[in-house]
């Protein structure tokens, strides 16, 4: 497999000045078809660049896609994490959370689309579209949680960039900041962390970009300020702290597939019938519970997503 070498200069996305954020925000507003609606959103209303005020989302509507299973506690959701940039042990991300600098934040959009550019977070995620979605998150390590996310549909955001007909996939990148993120000083994974979806998967209404949980801004350890949530796939597809979105014609590289192609495929749909080479995926332990549960096909979202994979051999495309 050919691995594209990523130049350091290429991936240093986080140094975005206030000025460039402002200019790009204006460019986006002018370019947007629904410019008037976007301009009506108060400037910097959502993520104040200064101060540490933790945003509370008021009057959130619960999405019809929510599960009504019992929620995992806020404590467990925020102290038992996988975020290798902040350390390898489950408690490390919380302990090292302050190393992640999330304000200001911008996302570069590039590749096969008509409106590439650099967008400030508050232009990407319109507050009017926020909703609460209670989703299961199932890790490949066979634990799971039920999390009340605050987010917006990924598809709605992606459409605003007008992907071209060549955009068959979309790739996401996490912030690359080894000076601050202790985990990136060691070659544990191909940094920056990257993930990808087929475009029809990305456009599925179950995919969200999350900006909060339990009605509050995302804690850093959960992928602030912006992370993907793909509820029918193993947790590692739900990439955290996104700074770059790239539309591609070819299937893009993903960090876990580069690290272990036999263990982590591109699709990574939750599938109790396809074992990880080193362990079974038939059961899972819901964090906070004692007994294991049976893992459900597509993490219980089969009715909604099975049609995306109709003619595919899921043992081959794992």
Ligand X SMILES: Nc1nc2c(c(=O)[nH]1)N[C@H]1C(S)=C(S)[C@@H](COP(=O)(O)O)O[C@H]1N2
| Residue 8: partners with Cβ closer than 8 Å, 6 or more residues away | none
173 makes contact with ligand X (CB under 6 A): no
219 makes contact with Mo ion (CB under 5 A): no
The site partner of 222 among ligand X, Mo ion, none (C-beta below 5 to 8 Å per kind) is ligand X
Query: What does DSSP say about strands 208-213 and 227-229: parallel, antiparallel, or unpaired?
Result: antiparallel
Q: Which is nearer to ligand X, 28 or 173 (CB)?
A: 173
Report d(CA 182, CA 15) in Å as an integer.
Answer: 18
CB of 46 to ligand X, least distance (A): 21
The site partner of 257 among Mo ion, ligand X, none (C-beta below 5 to 8 Å per kind) is none
Report d(CA 43, CA 210) in Å as an integer.
Answer: 21
User: Which stretch, 28-36, 83-91, 127-135, 293-301, contacts ligand X (CB under 6 A)?
Assistant: 83-91
Instruction: Tell me which residue has its CB nearest to ligand X.
Output: 235
Residues 65-94 interacting with Mo ion (rule: CB under 5 A): 82
Assess contact for 256 and 239: CB atoms under 8 A.
Answer: no
**How many other CB atoms are found less than 10 A from the CB of residue 179?**
9
72 makes contact with ligand X (CB under 6 A): no
270 makes contact with ligand X (CB under 6 A): no
CB of 83 to ligand X, least distance (A): 5
Residues 121-140 interacting with Mo ion (rule: CB under 5 A): 139-140
The site partner of 85 among Mo ion, ligand X, none (C-beta below 5 to 8 Å per kind) is ligand X
CB of 235 to ligand X, least distance (A): 2
284 makes contact with ligand X (CB under 6 A): no
| Residue 9: partners with Cβ closer than 8 Å, 6 or more residues away | none
Q: How many CA atoms lie within 13 A of 98 on its CB side?
A: 2
149 makes contact with ligand X (CB under 6 A): no
User: Which stretch, 7-15, 231-239, 260-268, 300-308, contacts ligand X (CB under 6 A)?
Assistant: 231-239
Query: Would you put residue 314 in left (φ > 0), alpha (ψ -120 to 50) or beta?
Result: alpha
13 makes contact with ligand X (CB under 6 A): no
Residues 232-251 interacting with ligand X (rule: CB under 6 A): 235-236, 238-241
Q: Which is nearer to ligand X, 18 or 75 (CB)?
A: 75
236 makes contact with Mo ion (CB under 5 A): yes
Assess contact for 265 and 278: CB atoms under 8 A.
Answer: no
**How many other CB atoms are found less than 10 A from the CB of residue 214?**
17
Report d(CA 252, CA 2) in Å as an integer.
Answer: 12
309 makes contact with ligand X (CB under 6 A): no
The site partner of 271 among Mo ion, ligand X, none (C-beta below 5 to 8 Å per kind) is none
What is the DSSP secondary structure assignment for residue 238, as one 8-state letter? S
Distance (Å) of CA 242 to CA 269, 297, 309: 21, 28, 26
105 makes contact with ligand X (CB under 6 A): no
Report d(CA 51, CA 68) in Å as an integer.
Answer: 35
CB of 149 to ligand X, least distance (A): 10
DSSP string, 159-218: HTT-B-TT--EEEEEE---TTT-GGGGS-SS-SSPEEEEEHHHHTSTT-EEEEEETTEEP
Task: Using CB under 5 A, count the residues that bind Mo ion.
Answer: 5
Give the binding site for ligand X (CB under 6 A).
81-85, 137, 139, 174, 193, 222-223, 235-236, 238-241
Give the binding site for Mo ion (CB under 5 A).
82, 139-140, 235-236
């Amino acid at each position: 497999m050919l691995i594209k070498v990523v130049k350091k200069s290429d991936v240093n996305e986080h140094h975005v000045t206030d000025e460039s954020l402002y200019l790009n925000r204006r460019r986006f507003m002018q370019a947007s078809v629904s410019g008037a609606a976007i301009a009506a959103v108060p400037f910097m209303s959502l993520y104040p660049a200064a101060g540490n005020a933790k945003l509370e989302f008021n009057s959130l509507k619960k999405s019809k896609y929510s599960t009504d299973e019992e929620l995992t506690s806020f404590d467990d959701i925020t102290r038992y994490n996988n975020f290798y940039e902040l350390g390898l042990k489950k408690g490390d991300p919380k302990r090292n959370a302050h190393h992640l600098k999330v304000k200001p934040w911008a996302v570069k959009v590039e590749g096969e689309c008509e409106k590439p550019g650099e967008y400030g977070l508050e232009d990407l995620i319109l507050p009017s579209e926020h909703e609460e979605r209670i989703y299961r998150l199932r890790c490949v390590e066979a634990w799971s949680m039920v999390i009340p996310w605050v987010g917006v549909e990924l598809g709605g955001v992606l459409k605003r960039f007008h992907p071209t007909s060549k955009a068959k996939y979309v790739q996401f990148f996490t912030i690359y900041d080894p000076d601050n993120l202790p985990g990136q000083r060691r070659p544990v994974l191909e940094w920056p962390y990257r993930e990808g979806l087929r475009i029809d998967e990305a456009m599925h209404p179950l995919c969200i970009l999350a900006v909060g949980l339990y009605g509050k801004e995302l804690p850093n350890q959960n992928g602030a300020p912006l992370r993907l949530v793909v509820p029918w796939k193993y947790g590692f597809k739900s990439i955290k702290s996104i700074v770059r979105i790239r539309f591609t014609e070819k299937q893009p590289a993903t960090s876990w597939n580069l690290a272990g192609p036999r263990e982590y495929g591109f699709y990574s749909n939750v599938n109790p019938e396809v074992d990880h080479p080193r362990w079974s995926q038939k059961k899972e332990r819901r964090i906070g519970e004692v007994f294991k549960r049976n893992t459900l096909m597509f993490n219980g979202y089969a009715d909604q997503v099975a049609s995306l994979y109709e003619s595919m051999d899921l043992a081959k495309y794992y």
